[in-house]
Structure 1
Amino acid sequence: MQKAESSKKINIIYLLGPGRSGTTLLATVLDNFSNICTLGEMHQFLEHLQDEKECSCGKKLERCPYWSDIISNLVEKDFELDYYRNLSENLEEHHHIPLLLITNKENKSYSILQKKIFNNIKSFSKEKWKVDSSKYIARYLRLKQQKEFNVKGIYLTRDVRGVINSFHKKVQTPKKPLSAILYYLVINFFSEVVYRLDKNVIKVKYEDFTQNPEKILQRIFNHLGEQKSVKLPESHAIPHIIGGNRMKRNKMIKISEDNAWKKNISRKKQIIYYFCAFPFMKLNNYKL
């Protein structure tokens, strides 16, 4: 009876943690396995739908070969897109995290919306696991409230200097070093709390994944309760994802570590940035 009930649940792999920590890369690699489908940053789904933004394939969602059927089945005459978008964006903001950590009170409208979205995805996408790489911790905690969802979290972390260098690039949402450090500290703090309180969350370092992806993927599959022999191709196809970083515009990507920060950031600033984020740099065994 318990197995039957479990099989009816929607299985979600949720990537959480600071942006620029390798979530798009990991999500893309996971999509290459037969029972996993990567959706992208699902906190942006309603925004992409309402603003007619493009899927990673370059087509608007309603014309995308993957998303078009899901959307047509989801959006009914009484579907209040503007209301649901505003509701979701508000409830997934970071300031909700402390309360969500100590209470299990759910927002019914939000719950109905997420169940409707994921049930529609499940109807058209038969893979067992759906990857949501939203990163937002409040969203993770709210999805965990749903009894119909089986959510497994992967907390990605990265050397702060790599994050700062990535945010310095004039793409997406650039941040200056101080802003990037404050963001890094806050998001890692709450991610670490969730990781320590929730046995359904594992921590993965970006550097470990890029240096030994097969070992990390085996660990992830063990976390999911999946028996898999991990053998990776040389390159990985970009799936039909929402959001994601600039690499989504490529047809194929390869796993490689981005160490540009070692050249782009002076040694003096490397040391300053290290000590500014010292608690998490030390905790995760990053070297000076």
Structure 2
Amino acid sequence: MVRVLFLGGLGRSGTTLIERVLGELPGICGLGEVVHLWRRDVLDDERCGCGERFSRCPFWREVGGEAFGGWDADLALRVIGLRDAIERTRYLPELAAPRLRTARARLVAEYTEAYLRIYRAAATVAGAQVVVDSSKHASLAFCLRWQRDVDLRVVHVVRDPRGVAYSWTRTRLRPEADGSAEMTRYPPARSALLWNAHNAAFGILERLGTPVHRVRYERFVAEPATAVEQIRRFAGLPPQPRPPAFLTDHGARLGRCHSAAGNPMRFLTGDVELRCDDAWRAELPAPSRRLVGALTAPLLGAYGYPLGTVRRPVPAGAPR
């Protein structure tokens, strides 16, 4: 059995940052968003977090050899087809049922077997006790709960939905694509509805018996040493008497990683400041802030966020 820390939540909530920090811990290997590995890496040969093309990355070449005897386009297409058939938000009610229908169970078993092989191979190659998959998708976590050889432990990452909404409106390039490709953007109303759906799904997963540890992004960046130690214990790793040396007074010292897909910050190395990105307080228009707050109100209080917000003034001369 392989132990997997699955970072779940809606995108732009800080999962890549948390994965990068956790990946610096002894015994933990961060893999990035494995759900996107099949298309972006195996088929499109985008860049690994280490900077190399996926096909030339020594780590992933060894993982592919250990898991499948080498990466294969036909396998990637098969897994992508299975994902489209079973791993979608609309299938969550069926995946949450006490039992799966026979035909569905076979597809889920085949789909999760591919992930199991990657997790096992990565743990072997890295000499790790725990692997971190920051795929975020609740639907993938619901599939993985049926894989008996995966010790699934979910770190549910939550961020203020107004900060998430602002992040989804910004234009960002995908440097791994080596071109002008941009990351997906959503209007505030859509991101608010997605925030509700994704976060509520992890609450259901917890009620179904999957271990879930909830982390607020804002608390993580404010108290990283405490948050990291709590996650270490949740992962079943032995406690440490002192904070990790790579955590500095104001940030973290990050080495090279092999995140297969994810936010562009996976390419950063060296000293990285850990601070709460709350630019949304000044930059997200008041009507959008009120709309997002209203749409997410049922869950805001449950996660400790206030319904109302104070708009932070934009400094004189700052770009708008």
Give TM-score, length-normalised by structure 1: 0.90
Whole-angstrom CA distance in 2 between matches of 1:264 and 1:170: 14
41-50 or 222-231, larger mean C-alpha shift: 222-231
Residue 116 of structure 1 corresponds to: 117
Paired residues for 1:1-288 under 5 Å: 9-47=1-39, 48-73=41-66, 74=68, 75=70, 80-105=75-100, 106=105, 107-171=108-172, 172-198=183-209, 200-229=211-240, 230-231=243-244, 232-234=246-248, 235-252=253-270, 253-287=272-306, 288=308
List gaps (5 residues or longer) in structure 2. 173-182, 309-320
Secondary structure, in 3 states, of the residue corresponding to 2:259? Answer: coil
Query: Residue deviations 1:213-240, cap 9 Å, x none?
Result: 1111222122223222233423223511
Residue 314 of structure 2 corresponds to: none
Identical residues among aligned pairs (%): 24
Give the conservation status (yes or no) of the 8 Å contact 2:42–2:73. no
- Aligned CA distance change for structure 1 residues 78 and 286 (closer, same or farther; 3 Å): closer
Whole-angstrom CA distance in 1 between matches of 2:80 and 2:292: 36
The letter for the 1-side match of 2:52 is: K
Whole-angstrom CA distance in 1 between matches of 2:203 and 2:159: 13
Query: Residue deviations 1:238-272, cap 9 Å, x none?
Result: 51101111212322333221111011023454233
Give the conservation status (yes or no) of the 8 Å contact 2:225–2:247. no
Secondary structure, in 3 states, of the residue corresponding to 1:274? Answer: helix
Give the conservation status (yes or no) of the 8 Å contact 1:20–1:167. yes
The letter for the 2-side match of 1:71 is: G
Secondary structure, in 3 states, of the residue corresponding to 2:31? Answer: strand
Give the conservation status (yes or no) of the 8 Å contact 1:44–1:243. yes
Give the conservation status (yes or no) of the 8 Å contact 1:62–1:72. no
- State the Cα distance separating 1:104 from its structure 2 match: 4.0
Give the conservation status (yes or no) of the 8 Å contact 2:31–2:134. yes
- Aligned CA distance change for structure 1 residues 65 and 101 (closer, same or farther; 3 Å): same
34-43 or 142-151, larger mean C-alpha shift: 142-151
How many equivalent pairs are there?
280
- State the Cα distance separating 1:34 from its structure 2 match: 0.7
- State the Cα distance separating 1:86 from its structure 2 match: 1.7
- Aligned CA distance change for structure 1 residues 233 and 113 (closer, same or farther; 3 Å): same
Query: Residue deviations 1:174-220, cap 9 Å, x none?
Result: 11111111111111221222234335111111111111111112221
- Aligned CA distance change for structure 1 residues 255 and 97 (closer, same or farther; 3 Å): same
Whole-angstrom CA distance in 2 between matches of 1:197 and 1:31: 28
Secondary structure, in 3 states, of the residue corresponding to 1:173? Answer: coil
Q: Aligned-pair RMSD on alpha carbons?
A: 2.0
- Aligned CA distance change for structure 1 residues 101 and 40 (closer, same or farther; 3 Å): same
- State the Cα distance separating 1:76 from its structure 2 match: 6.8
